[in-house]
Amino acid sequence: METVFICGGKSEIEVNRDKIQRDRLERIRNYCSKSRNNQNIFHKLPHRNHFNFVVSEKHKFIICYVPKTGCSQWKDLLLNVLTVRPVTSSHDISLFNHSIFKFLNEYSAEERQKTLNSYQKFYFVREPFERLLSAYRDKFVGKTTQLYERVAKEIIHKVRGVGRDNENGGRPTLAEFTSYLNQLPDPSSWDMHWRPAHQTCYPCAIDYDYVGYFDTIKEDADYILKKLRLDDQFQFPPFRSQTSVMLETHFSQIPLDHIIKLADIYREDFEMFGFKYPASIKKLFKDWV
């Protein structure tokens, strides 16, 4: 039988998870206080920068979606907690369905601030290269949506040139995709699937209660559910991704200068959240890092 030590009414596991959260949030706050990060952009551009914040008025919490960090799993798990009316469960329901979910950009400025001040708030982050590869594979390998078919054509025309649309099945290679990203201005305006996390949930502008990490998603999610007092109804499903083992295979096929530029674009995510360069990526840098 497993022994669980109790400290001040909490199990040893709970105390450890509390400390992990405190340490993560302290790191982020310290980083923000020392940087010239975008503390004000969140409030200056409310309709662009609040539409991925889903609000549960009944349970008084806000989840900020960073795509490719387990958002779909959260949506599936808490579907009828997050929706404004009962719906039939379906994985195909969009994360951004404004007819059934309540988003922060639907509130007035005064209501938004009041909600942010009084509700519990959380988000999840993921090592940037792994998240980027996951987004690429999700949108440009295999079945995709009409929107990302159009994005694929835009990438191909910009990088590959006119008249070569059918090469690689009409989809951009990872090298073409990363070349396209490296040519785009202002990452804060990028598609959310590859926008840096700190420019998606704005932790330098919002005082979050919890931040989860993708590599400990099950433990972090169950901890947050308990804090939201939903753990008696829900448990986050076991979840494993194989993307991390694919990093070297995929990124070794693209030019080193693409990787270096991407590392610079995502540098604040690495530093703010304490991510280390994956060993499979670091070896590609040679003496650069």
Mean pLDDT by 10 residues, the chain (289 residues): 46 78 96 77 71 93 95 89 84 84 91 95 97 95 88 91 75 94 90 94 94 95 95 87 88 90 94 92 68
Question: What is residue 13's predicted lDDT score, i.e. its pLDDT?
Answer: 63
Tens of pLDDT along 164-195?
Answer: 777 777 899 999 999 999 999 888 889 999 99
Copy the structure tokens of residue 233: 């109804």
Question: What is residue 3's predicted lDDT score, i.e. its pLDDT?
Answer: 41
Would you tell me how many other CB atoms lie within 10 Å of the CB of residue 39? 15
Residues near 175 by beta carbon (within 8 Å), at least 6 away in sequence: 253, 254, 255, 258
* Cα angle, residue 273 at apex, residues 270 and 275 outer, rounded to 5°: 50
Alpha-helical segments (H) within 35-78: 41-44, 46-49, 71-77
Question: What is residue 11's predicted lDDT score, i.e. its pLDDT?
Answer: 60
Question: What is residue 226's predicted lDDT score, i.e. its pLDDT?
Answer: 95
DSSP letter (8 states) at residue 229: T
Copy the structure tokens of residue 51: 């539409």
Distance of CA 10 to CAs 19, 24, 216, 285, Å? 12, 20, 21, 44
Contact at 8 Å (CB) between 250 and 174?
A: yes
Question: What is residue 88's predicted lDDT score, i.e. its pLDDT?
Answer: 83
Q: Which of 64, 225, 69 is nearest to 134 (CA)?
A: 69
Question: What is residue 144's predicted lDDT score, i.e. its pLDDT?
Answer: 86
Would you tell me how many other CB atoms lie within 10 Å of the CB of residue 83? 18
Tens of pLDDT along 241-254?
Answer: 888 889 989 999 89
Q: Which of 130, 127, 125 is nearest to 248 (CA)?
A: 130
Question: What is residue 181's predicted lDDT score, i.e. its pLDDT?
Answer: 95
